[in-house]
Amino acid sequence: MIDHFREHLDKLFANGIGMLDNALTEAFELLNNFNETGRGSVCSQAIMLVTDGAVDMYDAIFDKYNSPDRKVRIFPYLIGRESAFADNLKWMACTNKGYFTQISTLADVQENVMEYLHVLSRPKVIDQEHDVVWTEAYIDNTVSSLEDSQGPVLMTTVAMPVFSTKNETVIRK
């Protein structure tokens, strides 16, 4: 994927307004291409959108490429103090399981951009995904009491996440 960006980097130029519809379409098509050819990771995908504004919500693009499951998460970053486009970018993030951040100054960049890691690392409680994981068979000792040791036996271990079903939200300011 890095090679793709390097190949197209020289074609980029600043000229008035950003064409987010083209950028989002290209990002989704790139992810689809990588998935279809087996080069991409289907399990966790995200688009980081860094912009100084979004004149639209681009819901038609999200409906075409990311519905109904919203498997690609969107992380829009609004650069600058102007907040006229914040609502559109917040909608993109919320509708696509992402996180919106506004970055006012260069000093805020690292702290705010790294916030996406916290969002991606959240448990899969949103989708109620209970992935069961089994270990390979291994040999271990079992002891049910001090006198009742069975010695080495063949075992396996199973693990599954447990989620809180409480309807609670923490609002950060």
Per-residue pLDDT in tens (0 to 9) along the chain, 173 residues: 667 767 776 776 666 677 899 999 999 999 998 888 877 666 778 999 988 888 889 999 999 999 998 889 999 999 888 888 899 999 999 999 899 999 988 778 777 877 777 777 665 556 666 678 888 888 888 766 656 667 788 888 888 777 666 666 555 55
- State the first-to-last Cα distance of the chain, in angstroms, to the nearest integer: 36
What is the per-residue burial (b if ≥16 Cβ within 10 Å, else e) of 87-117?
ebbbbbbebbbbbbbbbeeeeeeeeeeeebe
What confidence score (pLDDT) does residue 122 get?
66
Q: Residue 15 domain-assigned? A: yes
Q: Residue 161 domain-assigned? A: no
Cβ burial, residue 76 (10 Å; 0-12/13-18/19+): buried
User: How many domains does the chain fold into?
Assistant: 1
Q: Residue 63 domain-assigned? A: yes
| Residue numbers of the domain that contains 28 | 2-126
